[in-house]
Amino acid sequence: MDKVEKKLKCQLIIAVVTVLFCGLAQAKDLTVYGKIHLSGDIIDNGSNKDYAIGSNSTRIGFKGDKGIKYGLKAIWKLESDIDASGERHFLKARNRYLGLKHKFGTMIVGYHDTPFKSLGGKAGVFHDTIGERRGILGAGNGSNKFNTRGRNSVLYISPNISGVEIRAMRSTGDDENDTTQDENPITSASAVFKNKMFYAGVAYEDQQKLDASGLRVGAGIKIGNTKVNAVFEKLMSDSDKKFDRPAYGGSVSHAIGDTIVKAQLFMLGDYTDTKDSGAMLYAVGVDHKLDKKFSIYAVIAAANNEANAKVPLAGSGHGEKYTPAVAGKDPKGASVGMIFKF
Distance between the two ends of the chain, CA-based, in angstroms? 38
Query: According to the 3-state scheme, what is the secondary structure of 81-120?
Result: ECCCCCCCCCCEEEEEEEEEEECCEEEEEEEEECHHHHHH
233 backbone dihedrals φ, ψ, rounded to 5°? -140, 140
pLDDT in tens, 17-55: 444 555 555 556 799 999 999 999 999 988 889 899 999
Looking at residues 216-244, what average pLDDT do you find? 94
pTM: 0.88
Alpha carbons 244 and 266: distance in angstroms, whole number: 17
Q: What is the mean pLDDT of residues 6-12?
A: 47
User: What's the pLDDT tens digit per position in 283-316?
Assistant: 999 999 999 999 999 999 999 999 999 999 997 8
Nearest CA to 206 out of 157, 120, 146, 246 is that of: 146
**Domains defined for the chain, CATH in brackets:** 35-341 (2.40.160.10)
Contact between 306 and 152 under an 8 Å Cβ cutoff? The reply is: no
pLDDT at 166 over 80: yes
Average pLDDT, the chain: 90
**Are 70 and 86 spatial neighbours (Cβ–Cβ below 8 Å)?**
no
Q: Would you state the pLDDT for residue 60? A: 97
Q: Yes or no: say if 231 and 216 are a contact pair by the CB < 8 Å rule.
A: yes
- Asked whether the CA dihedral 310, 311, 316, 322 is positive or negative, the reply is negative
Residue, of 199 and 12, whose pLDDT is higher: 199
What SS3 class is residue 273? coil
Average confidence (pLDDT) over 238-251: 91
Q: Give the pLDDT band of residue 7 (cuts 50, 70, 90).
A: very low
Q: How confident is the model at residue 182 (pLDDT cuts 50, 70, 90)?
A: low
User: 83-87, 174-178, 295-299: which has the minimum mean pLDDT?
Assistant: 174-178
Please indicate whether residue 260 or residue 210 has the higher confidence score (pLDDT): 260
pLDDT at site 40: 96
Q: How confident is the model at residue 181 (pLDDT cuts 50, 70, 90)?
A: low
Tens digit of pLDDT for each residue in 100-119? 999 999 999 999 999 999 99
With pLDDT > 90 as the criterion, what percentage of the chain qualifies?
76
Mean pLDDT over 84-106 rounds to 92
pLDDT top residue among 241 and 150 = 150
Dihedral sign for Cα atoms in the order 286, 335, 301, 194: positive
- Inform me whether the pLDDT recorded for 83 exceeds 60: yes
Q: How many CA atoms lie within 13 A of 288 on its CB side?
A: 7
